[in-house]
Amino acid sequence: MQAVILAAGVGQRLGAEAQQRPKSLLEFDGISLLARHLHILAHYGIEHVSVVTGYEHAQIEAALLASNNTLKLDISTLYNPEFRLGSVISFHTAAPILTSGDDVLLMDADVLYDMHMIDRLIKTRHANCFLLDRDFIPGDEPVKLCVQNNRLIDFRKRIDKNLRFDFQGESVGFFRFSAAMATGLIERAKAYIEADRNTEPYEEIIRDALLADTTAFGFEDVSGLAWIEIDFPEDIERARQEILPAITLPQSIST
C-alpha cells in the first residue's frame, strides 16, 4: 500500500496566517502538519509516500528532505505547475501512483488529526473506504457523506434537499482505494480535464465513482476522534486549543 498526500494548494483563505508557507508546513507544537503525516504513516508501516506539490514546492521539498533523515520512508514528490487552476489537476498529477497497481491511501495535507484514523483506514474491511464523522456543524463548508441503510449514497458539500438518507457525516478528507478503483479515478480525472472541469473540487471525481456503484464503497465511522481541516485563521486557533490536547500521536513525535 502507498500513500498520496495532496499538498499543492495556495491556502488563500488563511490570509496572513499562512505567511507565504504551504498549509502543510503550518506548525502546531513545533511540528508541521506534513511531518505529522509522515510520522503517522511510518508508524503504521506505510513505506512509500508521494506528495503532490505546487505552491512554494521548494519549501515542501526541503522539509521532506529533513524528515527523511529520521524516518525510514521512500518519499517522492509530484509537482503540479498548474496548481492555481484547481484540485482536479493536482489529483491527476498523482496518476503514476494511483495507476501503479497498489492500494492507495489518499490524504489532504491540511488536516490535524488523531493517528487512529489511519489505523482505521488500514484495517478496514472495505476495499474503498471513506472516513465519516457524525459530530459536525451543518453548513456549506463541510464535505458531507450521506448514508441510507448503512450504504453511502452521496458525497459533496451541497446535498440535494430532496435526497432521503438516514444520517450524515463529514468527510475527513482521507480515503482508501483499491488498485482498480484508483486507476478508474484517474481515468475520470482525465475526462474532467479534457472537458475543462478543472475548477471543480477533486472530490467530485470520487463522487461520480460512488454514484456509479454505491456498493463499491464503504465507510468507517470515526466520530469521537479529534481532527480539524485548516482552512481559516480561526481553524488554527481551534487546532491549538481544542484538537492538539485531544489527539494521540506516534511515539516518534510525542517523545
**Tens-place pLDDT, residues 50-74:** 999 999 999 999 999 887 667 888 9
Quick one: cell of 91? Answer: 489529483
pLDDT at residue number 255: 46
* Residue type, position 241, single letter: Q
* Residue type, position 7, single letter: A
pLDDT at residue number 16: 61
CA distances from 186 to 60, 95, 154, 225 (A): 24, 6, 20, 30
| Cβ-based neighbour number of residue 38 at 10 Å | 26
CA distance 205 to 91: 9
- The tally of CA atoms less than 13 A away on the side-chain side of residue 179 is 6
DSSP state of 56: B
Q: Residues with Cβ < 8 Å from 134, sequence gap 6 or more?
A: 167, 168, 169, 221, 223
Q: Residues with Cβ < 8 Å from 235, sequence gap 6 or more?
A: 228, 229
- The tally of CA atoms less than 13 A away on the side-chain side of residue 199 is 1
Per-position b or e across 185-216, b if 16+ CB within 10 A of its CB: bbebbeebbeeeebeeebbbbbbbbbeeeeeb
Question: Which of 166, 140, 169 shows the shortest CA–CA distance to 155?
Answer: 169
Phi, psi of 60 (to 5 degrees): -65, -45
- Mean pLDDT across the chain, nearest whole number? 94
pLDDT at residue number 5: 98
Q: Are 132 and 165 in contact (CB under 8 A)?
A: no
Average pLDDT of 99-126? 98
Quote the pTM value.
Answer: 0.95
CA distance 172 to 169: 9
pLDDT at residue number 68: 66
